[in-house]
Amino acid sequence: MESSFLGQILDILKRYWPSLALGIQNTLIISLSGTLIGLCIGLIVGGIRAIRLDYTASPAAVFGKKVLDRLGKIYIDVFRGTPMMVQAVFLYYALLNVVHWNKLTAAIFVISVNTGAYMAEIIRSGIQAVDIGQTEASRSLGMSNIQTMMNVVLPQAVRNAFPAIGNEFIVNIKDSSVLMIISIADLMFQAKSIAGSTFQFTATYGITAAIYFILTSIASLILNSIERKMNASSTSFPQSDTDPSNMVLATENAGEEHYE
């Protein structure tokens, strides 16, 4: 049965749209929840790593911070330094007998901890971009390290880092495709089964690529409009607080007193 390439595509779409739809649904569930949970992990890990204890901190706090910093560093290095596909198979089988999880849970877990490692660094650099004067003002009013972080620094850091955070979502839409290694029925997995039964590899994967492209394009449009809204609500005047003398202050203090 000879048919045109376009004919093949239409035929596949007609016959297999329910399984493609399921694939899209799973891909979106995995990438969206992975990004959100990863963001939460990143806020905690990155937030702790970015806290600078000054000399007024108790020895217990200094010790605890050292331990947490070390653990955070190991977590970030391991998850950024190994492929997510390998993390997926390893964690899925290693924990299967312990937690008896289903594949969707496993997939969300893997993508979350993987994203968390990247988010931690995004949040940390977002925090470091917040002017040290904000922290000093907050501390001078008597707010503690944690109150300062939660109320003053993190909200600004998240806003600064929003483009990078959004980018993680787009990356996750695409990279969640490697999770098919644990047979989660995401878009890529469905495509593979369709291709396997129709033997029309080019058409099937062409459709798959197009769907991924549409998904990431829509996500990117949504993220851009959120970003525009955030920026519209607070436009900096030329006389904003960021002037060169602040930067001098920040670098002067960088090496002093603060434990990083």
Question: Which of the stretches 23-31, 96-104, 113-121, 250-258 binds other proteins when contact is defined by CB under 8 A?
Answer: 250-258
Measuring CA to CA, which residue among 141, 134, 213, 135 is closest to residue 170?
Answer: 213
The verdict on 244 binding other proteins (CB under 8 A) reads: no
The verdict on 252 binding other proteins (CB under 8 A) reads: yes
The verdict on 155 binding other proteins (CB under 8 A) reads: yes
The verdict on 163 binding other proteins (CB under 8 A) reads: no
Give the DSSP letter string of 96-131: HHHH---HHHHHHHHHHHHHHHHHHHHHHHHHHTS-
Binding test (CB under 8 A) with other proteins, winner from 74, 228, 231, 241:
241
Binding test (CB under 8 A) with other proteins, winner from 25, 151, 202, 217:
151
End-to-end Cα separation, the chain, in angstroms: 67
Binding mask 86-125 for other proteins (x = CB under 8 A): ----------------------------------------
Beta bridge partners of 23: none
Contacts (CB under 8 A) with other proteins, residues 28-87: 54-56, 58
Residues 187, 26 contacting (CB under 8 angstroms): yes
Question: Which of the stretches 26-34, 80-88, 106-114, 133-141 binds other proteins when contact is defined by CB under 8 A?
Answer: 133-141
Measuring CA to CA, which residue among 208, 146, 135 is closest to residue 177?
Answer: 208
The verdict on 256 binding other proteins (CB under 8 A) reads: yes
Q: What's the rounded Cα separation, in Å, for the pair 208 and 189?
A: 10
Beta bridge partners of 259: 53
Q: What's the rounded Cα separation, in Å, for the pair 260 and 247?
A: 18
Which residues of the shown chain bind other proteins in the complex (CB under 8 A)? 54-56, 58, 131, 133-134, 136-144, 147, 151-152, 155-156, 159, 233-237, 239-241, 243, 245-246, 249, 252, 256-257
